[in-house]
Structure 1
């Protein structure tokens, strides 16, 4: 007699809600309503005869039964995803799913995708710029591009390129910051911060031993792209990240507010799902992306000038 298995939809709701500790975030991931997730989990709990979650005002937590059940469900979905990926695909079209930060996607990845499409015309590429943590292979992504100080155990990591931190602003803003000697006085600047950046103004100030600049004030945004756009409109000085900001500097919409660049401790890495090298299209995308990054990295500054940039 076959074992009774709960509905897969309810199990998917449970896995996502347990991972996010939220019905709302699980619903957003699965493109359903929070009510659908809640009802599905209630039905699952009734079918199993146990409670899986503790509903609290500040969020969800797993019951001991739910904590025991989750690893089995997560592993089951991972096996299904892995088996699906490894099936011989006889369709003409394939899809590659990539998770990437929004600024890197708009400034670097998307402008280059036409070259990959020319080489692989029957392969489609889906780019997801949400900030949620990607779980291979449950979430269905083939690759993720992440900013990190180094590879993390448990996945295949390939370094793409690093960054150089340099303050940037609009030409008009820079003119307002010049002192009588023609030097930029960053003490008078409105600093533009990126809340989600692991390295920003404080990193640059520490590395250059700059004095007299208050790093806590100014404007704050949640993406690097918004910070650079704010700087281009003259709202203040943002931390530019070369070579991503090089097109803005070449177009003179942004100019360097300091000659002192600082090498970032982080770099962009390509994280590959298990078995990515077994599919020709995925292997082709990986090799193409690494080659693109290698060529792009050659345009970065050859050295970092980290002499003290004392504001005076």
Structure 2
């Protein structure tokens, strides 16, 4: 007797919504409307006879039943994805798929990819910088680079390098911050905040004891790259993240607004999918990326 399964399209929407804890983010990931996600999950709940989500004005959350069911659904999709990838000759020439933040991609990864291509000219790499949580192996990614204080259970994590935080701004803006005696007054500065950053101005202020600087106001952007660009346009002072900001400091487009530099609690980590051990080109890419990071970290510490 064949197994009776719920509608598979609805399960796919449920998995994404449960992983993101958001109908909107699930819709963006799967290229449908939030309304379509909501209606499909209502239909799934009716078919199963259980409530999977709690709907509140501030958002959604999984019920205990929904969280339990999600673990089975996620595992089922993972098994399908792994089985498909292990088929003979399945997409043998597909690119290595990497998810990472836009600033990491533009300032660190892309300048080094020519080196990888020189050694492995027949291996292609696909870089995704969208703001979304990656599910291994359901989303088809081989690797992700993430900021974290420590490894997360359930995946293979390799530390790449950390950051050092220092205030930066344009040379012209720095001069405008000086008082009549030439002293720098950071209290007069417009602080540029990065909404998605796990560590921002408050971390630097707490570490340096500069509690007299107001952090509530200022300019807010969604990427580190935008923060650096805004600072170079004299829109305020950004929290520079060395070594990613080092090229701007070397060129003179940005200068240190204060000399106090603190070590970030978080670091960049390479997260590998389970099947990374099964494809030789994935092993080569991981070894190459970790080696590049180790050299880069050593050079940054020596500088």
TM over 0.5: yes
Compute the TM-score of the two structures, normalised by the length of structure 2: 0.88
1:196 to 2:196 alignment: yes
Higher mean Cα deviation, 228-237 or 36-45? 36-45
Residues 185-211 of structure 1, C-alpha deviations (whole Å, 9 max, x = no match): 323322222222222222222322336
Task: Find the aligned partners of 1:89 and 1:184 in 2 and give their Cα distance.
Answer: 63
1:262 Cα deviation from its structure 2 partner = 1.3
C-alpha distance in 2 between matches for 1:98 and 1:165: 26
Counterpart position of 2:144: 144
Cα distance in 1 for residues equivalent to 2:154 and 2:64: 27
Q: Which residue of 2 aligns with 1:133?
A: 133
Residue 307 (structure 1) aligns with: none
- Structure-2 separation of matches of 1:15 and 1:273: 18
| Residue of structure 2 in register with 1:306 after alignment | none
Deviations 1:17-75 (A, max 9, x none): 33334433222111223344345445545655666556555544556764553332221
| Distance in structure 2 (CA, Å) of the matches to 1:161 and 1:222 | 22
Residue pair 1:78, 1:136 contacting (<8 A) in 2 also: yes
Give the SS at the match of 2:300: coil
RMSD, aligned α-carbons = 2.6
The alpha-carbon deviation at position 302 of structure 1 amounts to 4.1
Tell me the equivalent position of 2:37. Answer: 37
Name 2:80's counterpart in structure 1: 80
Matched position secondary structure for 1:199: coil
1:308 is matched with: none
For 1:309, the equivalent position in structure 2 comes to: none
Residue in 2 that maps onto 1:260:
260
Q: 1:142 to 1:181 in 2, by over 3 A?
A: same
Quote the Cα distance in structure 2 between the aligned partners of 1:33 and 1:106: 30
**1:237 shift after superposition:** 1.1
- Distance, in Å, in 1 between the alignment partners of 2:162 and 2:107 is 15
- 1:37-186 alignment to 2 at 5 Å? 37-41=37-41, 44-45=44-45, 48=48, 52-53=52-53, 58-62=58-62, 66-89=66-89, 93-179=93-179, 182-186=182-186
SS in 2 for 1:299: helix
TM-score where L is the length of structure 1: 0.85
What CA distance in whole angstroms lies between the structure 1 residues aligned with 2:116 and 2:202?
A: 38
Q: Which runs of 5+ in 2 are unaligned?
A: none
SS at match of 1:122: coil
| Count of residues in Structure 1 that have an aligned counterpart in Structure 2 | 303
Tell me the SS of whatever aligns to 1:138: coil
Q: For 2:274, what is the secondary structure of its paired residue? A: coil
Per-residue CA deviations over 1:199-230 (Å, capped at 9, x if unaligned) read 22222223223364333332222221111111
Counterparts of 1:178 and 1:141, CA distance in 2: 49
Q: Is the 8 A contact 1:177 1:185 kept in 2?
A: yes
Q: Residues 268 and 51 (structure 1 numbering): CA distance in 2 closer, same or farther, change over 3 Å?
A: closer
Structure 2 contact 20–133 (Cα < 8 Å) conserved: no
- Is the contact between residue 243 and residue 299 of structure 1 (CA under 8 Å) also seen in structure 2? no
8 Å CA contact retained: 1:146, 1:271: yes
- CA–CA separation in structure 2 for the residues paired with 1:220 and 1:54: 31
After superposition, the Cα gap between the structure-2 partners of 1:265 and 1:23, relative to the gap in structure 1 and judged at 3 Å, is closer
1:289 and 2:283 matched: no
> 1:170 Cα deviation (Å)?
0.4
The alignment partner of 2:263 has SS state of strand
